[in-house]
Amino acid sequence: MTGKHEYEIGDIRGLESALKQLHGYCGDLQAQAMAATTAVSGQWQGLANAEFVNAVQTWQVGATLLTAHAEYLATWAGYAATQYEQAQTSMKSSWA
């Protein structure tokens, strides 16, 4: 079996890879945001510090959700690609 099905598997594996990269990128951004919060808190005081920390925390909630969803989707994309590959192998052996 060649053609469209192999192309679909490649697309799904590409999606899985892109989602894993997104997951890692969001983790890096979260770490940088935490470092910035720590650095700013050492320099700023009062309302400016509180507003900055609040803004970063709001962003981190969204980033945490995005990271979790990227991981979930990457897992399912990998599962789907594996299922396609197994079905393809099964069909090849059935027709051999």
Q: How far is CA 43 from CA 24, 30, 36, 57, 62, in A?
A: 29, 20, 11, 18, 26
| Residue-level pLDDT at 10 | 87
| Residue-level pLDDT at 2 | 53
Q: Is the pTM of this model over 0.75?
A: no
Each residue's pLDDT tens digit, 14-47:
999 999 999 899 888 888 888 888 888 888 889 9
Structure tokens at 71: 């991981």
Dihedral of alpha carbons 19, 22, 28, 30, sign: negative
95 burial level (CB within 10 Å; 0-12, 13-18, 19+): exposed
Q: Please name each of the domains of the chain with its CATH number.
A: 4-90 (1.10.287)
Each residue's pLDDT tens digit, 72-93:
999 999 999 999 889 888 888 8
